[in-house]
Every structure is written in C-alpha cells, then in structure tokens.
Amino acid sequence: MYDEFSKERQHAVYSGSFDPVTLGHIDIIRRAAELFPRITVAVGHHPNKKGLFSIQERIAFLMDAVAPFQGVDVMATDALMVDFCRSIQATVIIRGLRSEADFAYEMQMAAINRELAPDIETVFLLANRDTMFVSSSVVRELASYGHSVDAYVSHMVADALRRLFQS
C-alpha cells in the first residue's frame, strides 16, 4: 500500500506567503523533503496585497534556506493551489499545523481542495514544538518594535528585517 502511494505521490507542493519565511516553515520543508522526492515551495503572490517583502525577496530568502535540501525548488504563483498543482503535475499539498485554529482552517481548505481536485491529496505535518508559536506575523511585529528575531528566522531574513525597520 505504501509503495503504491509513494509511486503515485512523487511531487508535493508547500505553499504560503512566506512574508517572511520562518524557521518553522523551513522545518516543514525539510521534513517534507524527507517524505517526497520533489517539493515545490509555492510563494503566493496576490497583486492586490502589499507584502512586507517583494515576491522576489521572498523567493531569494527561500532559495537560500532550501539550498541544502535535495529536490526542492521555489516558484511564485497567483493561481488557485489545485490549479497550480495540476500545472506542475504535483499530486500532494503539504500543510503545516501549529494549533487547533490552524487545523480547523486547513481542514476546511483540504475539503474544498478535495472537492475541486480529488486526485490531489493534502498531507498535514505538525509543527515542531520549538517553532509552533512562530508565525510570520509575530516575526514582523517583533521586528517592527526593534526586537531581535534571530531565533525565529534565518540570518538573511533577520538582517533584512533589521534594515527595513531601522530606516
């Protein structure tokens, strides 16, 4: 049974805004890369939403962070996730869960995705207990008040946040 699943499920997508990417995101990507031979990190790009970092900056942060992992690439998308998965022939959506609130929201999204694309499976990975309280919004807020975020993001992201909020 597992062999059948693994043969069919070779390419997974992990999506988010990653504004900014946190060590929690990187942990999910690392663990997903141990489960699937190919992972595409899909950076959500919504033209009507202004992010803290540009799409190009977020992609650069992610490419730096995932460089040590085999089979991981990074792409921008503004498509519905199941449509994006189909466009790159991915059959799995990876979602990270930090809390019960995440679970409730992600279950709803998984149900909608299953309705739209029954051939695409959603797999949930629980956040590591060391990073389960870390979110991009918490990191942005701490950085905006001048607090160190070095424990929650890569050095590259921490430096960018310091430069952004010191000006």
Residue 136: active-site member = yes
% pLDDT > 70, the chain:
95
In degrees to the nearest 10, what's the CA dihedral of 141, 142, 145, 151?
Answer: -150
Residue 1, pLDDT above cutoff 50? no
**Confidence class of residue 3 from pLDDT cuts 50, 70 and 90?**
low
More confident residue, 56 or 167: 56
Domain borders along the chain are 2-129
Q: Confirm or reject CATH 1.10.3720.10 for domain 2-129, answering yes or no.
A: no
Residue 25: active-site member = yes
Q: Which residue has the tokens 């979110």?
A: 135
Active-site choice (25, 45, 58, 95): 25
Count Cβ neighbours within 10 Å for each residue of 57-80 and write b for 16 or more, e otherwise.
bbbbbbeebbeebeebebbebeee
Per-residue pLDDT tens over the stretch 48-99? 778 899 999 999 999 999 999 999 999 999 999 999 999 999 999 999 999 8
CA distance 96 to 32: 10
